[in-house]
Every structure is written in structure tokens, then in C-alpha cells.
Amino acid sequence: MYFHGPAYRVLDRVESAGSHRVIGCMTANLPLDTTNPSHSSLVGPRLIELCFQTAGVWEIGKTGQLALPAGVDHIIVRDPSSSGGPLVAEVTAEEGSEGLSFSARVRDGAGKVHVELLGYRTSRMPNTLPEDEAGPFRKVVV
């Protein structure tokens, strides 16, 4: 569904985690996300992308529409070093008077939180996806 190149195909799978919650598991063994392996950043942008794509799966399942990032109120970097194990994004959809927003956090297998997003909002694409494309996404929305 997503149009990213190999370095940003971060989402391996998404599972329902209860009412308005989903968990996205990060793909293992991704290629480098920069053309120069000696470059680095404070927090890997793919951790934030994992939150975006996981929230996107929930939104497609709920609305049948693909959406793009429109804004984030806060990004909190806790600790970029990994304690090991798979990385997962825990995402909660919040339907309020001002529309849909998401909160998310990325943690590793030891439970250590690396990144948190608060107030993530999207802008939906104008067309609804055909049911054969949106249907599998509906299975993760509770």
C-alpha cells in the first residue's frame, strides 16, 4: 500500500491491541537509510516512520482512505540506543472534537521506550480505496 523505497518499508506487520490501538512491528534487516554509512542522526527517522505507517494502517482500516502526515505536536526522544529485541510502535487513535489524532511510542524487546509522538495528525487523500484493498486493513481496527 505504501510507496516507500526499500530503506523505508519499515512495517513488517500490524496487530490489533484493543479499542483504538494497534501495534506495528518493524521490519528486520533494513538497508541503510543514508547514502553515506558514516552519517548518523540523533534518532533514526525510521522510528518515526514506523509510527506514521502503523497509524496509517489503523486509519485505512477505519476510513478506507490513505492519509499523509500533516503535523505532530511533540516528538520526544527518550534513548536512541537499543536494548535488543524487535522494535514495535504502539499507536493509539484518538477521535476528538478536532478530528482524528494519534499518540505513539516505539519500544524495543526489553520494553525500553525510544521515541514518543503526541498529537500526530494526517491529511486524507480524496479517494476511498476499493474494498479489496482496504478490507485487510479493517481487520486490525477494533
**What are residue 5's DSSP bridge partners?**
none
Do residues 65 and 128 make contact, with C-beta atoms less than 8 angstroms apart? yes
Q: What is the pLDDT of residues 69-92, one digit of tens each?
A: 999 999 999 876 767 779 999 999
Predicted confidence at residue 96, as pLDDT, reads: 86
Three-state DSSP state, 29: coil
pLDDT at 85: 78
pLDDT of amino acid 94: 95
pTM listed for this prediction: 0.91
Domains of the chain: 6-32+39-138 (3.10.129.120)
Helix/strand number for the chain, H first, E second: 2, 7
DSSP 8-state secondary structure symbol assigned to residue 13: E
The model's pLDDT over 1-10, given as tens digits with 9 standing for 90+, comes to 677 788 889 9
Q: Which residues of the chain have pLDDT under 70?
A: 1, 34-35, 42, 80, 82
Cα 43 from Cα 95, distance rounded (Å): 28
The confidence score (pLDDT) of residue 42 equals: 67
